Amino acid sequence: MKKMLFIYNPLSGMGQLKSKLSDVLDIFVKSGYEVTVYPTQKYHDALEKTRSYTGDYDLVVCSGGDGTLDEVVSGMEMREKKVPVGYIPTGTTNDFASSLHISRNILEAADTAVNGIPFACDVGNFNDDSFIYIAAFGLFTDVSYETKQSMKNILGHLAYVLEGTKRIFNIPSYRIKVFHDGEEFEDEFIFGMVTNSRSVGGFKGITGRNVVYDDGMFEVTLMKTPKNPIELNELLGAVVMRQINPDRMYSFKSGEIRFESAGEIPWTLDGEFGGVHDKVVIRDKKQALQIMVKEGPEKGVPDFLS
């Protein structure tokens, strides 16, 4: 039999996996897998388990939110021998799963994990760390990791909104030098994100059009600090309309970006705290991760590309 390591976060999404766990395992076994099950016990447990397992597994499947997926991907990046990753999203937002059309229905996602097709997508390197779909700084980026899990479970997206309202009148601004593809500029920013996703914070289309997950390029969006209420309204209007306002934003694609600031800036990686840094280098590792996705009508072609 093929061997699988199944890592899941028992606290994610009101623990919704628990009632379906038997059915999920049945899908795995019927698909020819001998399954080792590991419920995470603490922060970064999924990363450590993925990094250090010694079994000869053919597939690692994880269940949880974007943070759990990030930990498994980061752990897999540390391994010499890499295997495909399956994902059953049970978090509050599940941006990356939404981008790849991985179902939020637990049993459908479980079936995709074992009966789908592997898709080679890019992975981000952030200094010495890794991320799967977003590295960001500035306005509200700490909401996801400062909102308590119990609040996320009870209130869902409303928990993020409530946490975010605490910061609306205390917007930080950062002066940053940005280097990419032979270009250099410096400005004041309230928010910046380097992404490989069509959905961020549950909002689709906010990263621009023609997002390709395996092209070795990130979508970079940097929002300038507004100097008055008119500029703030223009910026918010562009965000709501999912449009790029070149007067209020920088937007470009790049495979490598460097950020330098006078002081340390807190970053978030896939919704989890990524540390504080005054120098950040982000590189796109093209097609570094094999993730299981649903096959479309055309054999061998992912559903989200059909």
Mean pLDDT over 195-206 rounds to 66
pLDDT digits (tens, 9 = 90+) for 251-281: 899 999 999 998 999 998 887 888 999 999 9
Asked if CATH classification 2.60.200.40 holds for the domain at 129-285, the reply, yes or no, is: yes
CA distance 207 to 85: 25
CA distance 260 to 271: 22
With 70 as the cut, is the pLDDT of residue 162 above it? no
Number of Cβ within 10 Å of residue 204's Cβ equals: 13
Cβ neighbours for 217, distance < 8 A, ≥ 6 positions apart: 122, 253, 254, 255, 284
Taking the model in full, what pTM does it have? 0.84
Q: Are 61 and 28 in contact (CB under 8 A)?
A: yes
Q: Are 76 and 92 in contact (CB under 8 A)?
A: no
- The predicted pLDDT at position 145 comes to 41
User: What's the topology of domain 2-124+287-305?
Assistant: Rossmann fold (3.40.50)
pLDDT digits (tens, 9 = 90+) for 2-52: 999 999 999 886 668 889 999 999 999 999 999 999 999 998 999 999 999
Q: Where are the domains of the chain?
A: 2-124+287-305, 129-285
CA distance 27 to 210: 35
- The predicted pLDDT at position 267 comes to 92
The residue among 138, 175, 177, 200 whose CA lies nearest residue 281 is 177
- The predicted pLDDT at position 268 comes to 87
pLDDT digits (tens, 9 = 90+) for 209-221: 678 999 999 999 8
